[in-house]
A and B are shown apart, each in its own frame.
Chain A
């Protein structure tokens, strides 16, 4: 009970703050957990009218969806090759994928800033689409290869005996069976990209190219004025897409989480 209250209170507080009038929010004699002076949408209005919130939202969607597509295009063939084909250095590559999954983004951002600058991508959304796969692809490849190992080889071999090419067998026979793995990868790639901050902070500084977490952090505090209500409204709005995905696909998130720590 205590643990659940501790874990969930911040979400409650985001909700209350985002709907409460400023007058009540900053009245120390009012009860903090109640809304007595009426619910207001003023914070959402400020967010929409006086910040580039919608631009950041669009940028976040664009970057996260593109990263998800790149992740799938790299990790599906990658995992398939690791599991089903045999080539020199295969085991080493498998090991490399696993080790890359352990590399935290904060170890790489300084040299990646160099790479991004060298390609002239500073202050573009491309800088993020190109670098986000560093943390989505290793995890996805490794998770998918776990799923593929569990699918009997005979399934695709029989399709190939019937004249299907390897690619066709992969697309029409293997992938449908591996759907849970693919769904998990999509959810993780999207969520990780949606919330990622360090590269976004390091490579993008123009307001029009910011993604949500960076925009909220850097533009809702002006001097020493904090727009707490609007900040919480923004946090709520940013959390909603992930929350919706989690609500619908809870068990895939849990499967990805436990696989990420226990299955090798």
Chain B
């Protein structure tokens, strides 16, 4: 196990760092060039676009997942034990690998035969159809939509576990004191859910900023590079474009996000605020 940690996680990280300081390409060993790759990236308009995309994608997707996740968890808690089947079913987007289900979304966003567009047309909305993957704005909407679809069940299920661990007596006491349900939600549910909420959000930020499959399958980073994230751009430059040193430099930009998220995660755990 130590071997796997050192050889397959720590060593690649260090070697990525070293590689990013060389001009190595696939097939040539390369020489030390200092920060040249990073300086080039600072000038690279596609890379700058990628940074902007990554921030937008992560912030919007995680926010929607968190808010909708709480809503869904509260709804599931209301249904109670009878909803076991529903709870099992809605977890499917998270259980079935995204590399398989994103293929279905690809087909659902097809320019000619999109079933979503046919539905919208039938409802009288957007009669000419939405150019899901062909237009920079709509492509961003589409990839965020699929990310939310994939992550929402995870958020909702964890929040539900958190909700159910809150002692019922708290709500009963609040009710006797005349609190309305909204008051109970803001004063009891949210504060007690906060540690779980923070942990899930931190974890999801890392996984969302590092997303690969959704983008690679649906848009390959296009149109006009408006949906590229670090992983897909690193893949394009480093492996498809064979400039592996620059690819390493691009993927390393995921690291600061990981480091910051890890720091806060550990802080929450150390405080011992654990639930479920």
How many residue pairs bridge A and B at CB < 8 Å? Answer: 244
The listed residue (B15, B196, B230) touching A261 by CB distance below 8 A is B196
The listed residue (B90, B92, B100) touching A195 by CB distance below 8 A is B100
Are A261 and B158 interface neighbours, CB within 8 A? yes
Are A261 and B89 interface neighbours, CB within 8 A? no
Nearest to A246 among chain B residues (CB) is B95
Are B230 and A197 interface neighbours, CB within 8 A? no
Are A257 and B1 interface neighbours, CB within 8 A? no
- A258 near B: Cβ within 8 Å? yes
- B186 near A: Cβ within 8 Å? no
A interface footprint on B89-132 (CB within 8 Å = 1, 0 otherwise): 11111111111110111011010010100110000000000000
Give Cα A232 to B75, complex, Å: 32
Can you report 10 A-B residue pairs in the complex whose CB atoms are below 8 A from each other?
A10-B149, A11-B104, A28-B118, A100-B9, A104-B207, A111-B13, A114-B244, A115-B12, A264-B269, A264-B274
Determine chain A's interface SS by DSSP, over half rule: helix
Give Cα A109 to B157, complex, Å: 30
Are B4 and A106 interface neighbours, CB within 8 A? no
What bracket does the count of chain A residues touching chain B fall in?
35 or more
- B185 near A: Cβ within 8 Å? no
Considering only CB atoms and an 8 Å cut-off, how many residues of chain B contact the other chain?
A: 82
Are B210 and A202 interface neighbours, CB within 8 A? no
Are A102 and B265 interface neighbours, CB within 8 A? yes
Contacts of A32 in B (CB 8 A): 115, 118-119
- B189 near A: Cβ within 8 Å? no
Contacts of A197 in B (CB 8 A): 97, 99, 212-213, 216
Residues in A83-139 with C-beta less than 8 Å from chain B: 93, 95-97, 99-100, 102-115, 130-131, 133-134, 137-138
Closest CB-CB distance, A83 to chain B, in whole Å? 13
Closest CB-CB distance, B235 to chain A, in whole Å? 7
The listed residue (B93, B97, B203, B238) touching A242 by CB distance below 8 A is B97
Closest CB-CB distance, B251 to chain A, in whole Å? 5
- B138 near A: Cβ within 8 Å? no
- A61 near B: Cβ within 8 Å? no
Are B276 and A258 interface neighbours, CB within 8 A? yes
Closest CB-CB distance, A118 to chain B, in whole Å? 10
Contacts of B266 in A (CB 8 A): 95
Beyond A243-B96, A263-B274, is A235–B251 a contact (Cβ under 8 Å)?
Answer: no
Give Cα A73 to B72, complex, Å: 38
Beyond A4-B86, A235-B103, A262-B161, is A103–B153 a contact (Cβ under 8 Å)?
Answer: no
In the complex, identify which listed stretch (A74-82, A153-161, A176-184) lies at the interface while the others stay far away.
A74-82
Are B12 and A262 interface neighbours, CB within 8 A? no
A interface footprint on B131-166 (CB within 8 Å = 1, 0 otherwise): 000000000000000000100111001100110000
Are B157 and A254 interface neighbours, CB within 8 A? yes
Please name 11 further chain A to chain B contacts, defined as beta carbons within 8 Å, in addition to the given A106-B212, A201-B216, sorted by A numbering: A4-B90, A10-B108, A13-B115, A14-B101, A14-B104, A93-B2, A104-B207, A111-B16, A196-B99, A217-B103, A239-B101
- A3 near B: Cβ within 8 Å? yes
